[in-house]
Amino acid sequence: MGVAFIVASLAVADPVFGQTTDVFTQNQTLSAKAFGDELIRRLKSGDYEGALEWLEGHPDVLSRDEGQKLQIQLLMFLGRDRQAQALSETYLSGHPNDATARFQLAELHFRARQDQAAAFAYRLALAGNLDEARRTAAYGRLEQIEGRKRWRYWVGGSVAPDSNLNSATNSTRVDLFGLPFELSDDARRRSGVSVNAFGGIDRIVEFTPSLGLRLSTVASVTDLPGNDTDLGYLSLRMGPQWRLDQTTVVSVQVKRSRQWYGGEVWEDTEGIGLESDSYSANRRWTGAINLDRVSARLNPARGGHLWSFEAARTQFLGNSSLWRLGTSVIRREAKSAPEAYLQGQLSIGRLFQGPKATFIYTEASVGHRRYDAEAVAFRTRRIDREASIEVRLSKRDWFLWGGHPFVSVSASQNRSSINLYEYDRTRVEFGFTREF
């Protein structure tokens, strides 16, 4: 069967999707022409179910790239989006440089109002060899996403076997005030399995096309072995958001959050933050500056002010890959000088298409933390140096409660001027995230 009839069918089915640089071939057999004529007839009459049956009844056509994309498009017309999405992800595993297929997947996310996934797929497609019609359509979709993103919800969960749940030392002995002490089991490294659940709501109240009020809340709960180390987090934010142009958003947020440890309030934080997000020429820049006041409930000496700066640059390399460079600086002041510190971190990551409908993201990071004064008990200033690496694999054609399942493996190592704070950690996480 010739490529021409598939292309013609796409053009009839969807004018945007049907734009292509391919041309009709001149050497068509009679059977190929009969197939194409019948397919176009069914499409023109709106018989998409019949067109799909006709296509699937010709495996020689269905095995071609154009046939597979037409099958996906027909499933979309029939409202069978989840099946179409699974087939699209599988197709992209074998054709990671097909910009048309990435655009088609973006359309599926857009229809499902999975706006973050849709915007991400459109940007990947735009970084590839996308034809002018779809390129124009993709930019239009990105504008629509920004315009309709009034409510956003997301939930997720994970289970994580961890070699060092409490990020504690392997040492059995530590020197305090120059004297050796044996560490209890509670103070040493503990392995186990943690269970985490999280979710959030984001709401934008629009006053004008360029000005709105953004309200958001984020919560998470982490269950650890025993009840004395369970973690909880709740954050509330509110503030104005300005759209400077079609690609740049700036917001100011008043924030309040609380953390729990072992069922007790660990810290309360309140402050203000400035955030920005800009995208152009296949690059995305994000940044944030925060000023917070921390009230430490269980250890008041840790209370004080916290300043932080974060920035990240993402370079979309093509239809299925990107680089990401991130940096952060944190300055924490505390009532007790040995609890105050300056911390810096640098990370670099790479995303690429994997086999069997997977996305693989790998990231390496290094960090340095220097405390203001020596720890009295150890008679030395604490200085930590941490290095870590993480590999995350997301299975894109599987669905777990409506989200794609993922597995990540991470390893980290912390070296400190005080041996109590030295540790190694290996963690495996199985989970999912779903956006509404």
Mean predicted confidence (pLDDT) in 317-331: 95
Domain match, 355 and 264 both: yes
Confidence of residue 63 (pLDDT cuts 50, 70, 90): confident
Q: Report the Cα 7 to chain-centroid distance in Å.
A: 34
The pLDDT of residue 180 is 59
Domain match, 140 and 158 both: no
The pLDDT of residue 14 is 53
pLDDT tens-digit readout, 243-267: 998 889 999 999 999 999 988 999 9
| Whole-number Å distance between alpha carbons of 362 and 82 | 27
- Choose one of 148, 177, 206: the last residue of a domain: 148
Confidence of residue 88 (pLDDT cuts 50, 70, 90): very high
- Amino acid at position 259, single letter: Q
pLDDT tens-digit readout, 145-196: 887 778 888 999 999 998 877 776 666 656 555 555 565 555 555 778 999 9
Domain match, 8 and 116 both: yes
Length of the chain: 436
- Choose one of 126, 148, 170: the last residue of a domain: 148
Q: Which residue has the higher pLDDT, 144 or 411?
A: 411
Closest Cα partner for 105 from 132, 82, 79? 82
The pairing of beta strand 151-162 with beta strand 380-395: unpaired
Give percent of the chain with pLDDT exceeding 90. 58
Domain match, 252 and 205 both: yes
- Amino acid at position 332, single letter: R
Domain match, 135 and 282 both: no
- Choose one of 148, 173, 196: the last residue of a domain: 148
pLDDT tens-digit readout, 100-109: 999 999 999 9
Give percent of the chain with pLDDT exceeding 70. 87
How many domains does the chain contain in total? Answer: 2
The pLDDT of residue 33 is 77
Question: Which three-class secondary structure string do you get for the chain?
Answer: CCHHHHHHHHHHHCCCCCCCCCCCCCCCCHHHHHHHHHHHHHHHCCCHHHHHHHHHCCHHHHCCHHHHHHHHHHHHHCCCHHHHHHHHHHHHHHCCCCHHHHHHHHHHHHHCCCHHHHHHHHHHHHCCCCCHHHHHHHHHHHHHHHHHCCEEEEEEEEEEEECCCCCCCCCCEEEECCEEEECCHHHCCCCEEEEEEEEEEEEEEEEECCEEEEEEEEEEEEECCCCCCCEEEEEEEEEEEEEEECCEEEEEEEEEEEEEECCEEEEEEEEEEEEEEEEECCEEEEEEEEEEEEEECCCHHHCEEEEEEEEEEEEEEECCEEEEEEEEEEEECCCCHHHCEEEEEEEEEEEEEECCCEEEEEEEEEEEEEEEEEECCCCEEEEEEEEEEEEEEEECCCCECCEEEEEEEEEEEEEECCHHHCEEEEEEEEEEEEEC
Write down the pTM of the prediction: 0.82
Domain match, 142 and 159 both: no
Domain match, 220 and 352 both: yes
Confidence of residue 419 (pLDDT cuts 50, 70, 90): confident
Domain with 35 in it: 3-148
Closest Cα partner for 391 from 351, 347, 431? 351
| pLDDT higher than threshold 90 for residue 392 | yes
The pLDDT of residue 187 is 56
Domain match, 327 and 392 both: yes
The pLDDT of residue 417 is 92
Domain match, 198 and 270 both: yes
pLDDT tens-digit readout, 5-40: 444 444 444 544 443 323 333 334 547 778 888 888
pLDDT tens-digit readout, 157-167: 999 998 877 77
Domain match, 81 and 15 both: yes
Q: What is the CATH number of the domain that holds 166?
A: 2.40.160.40
Domain match, 37 and 157 both: no
Domain match, 143 and 291 both: no
Q: What is the CATH number of the domain that holds 47?
A: 1.25.40.10
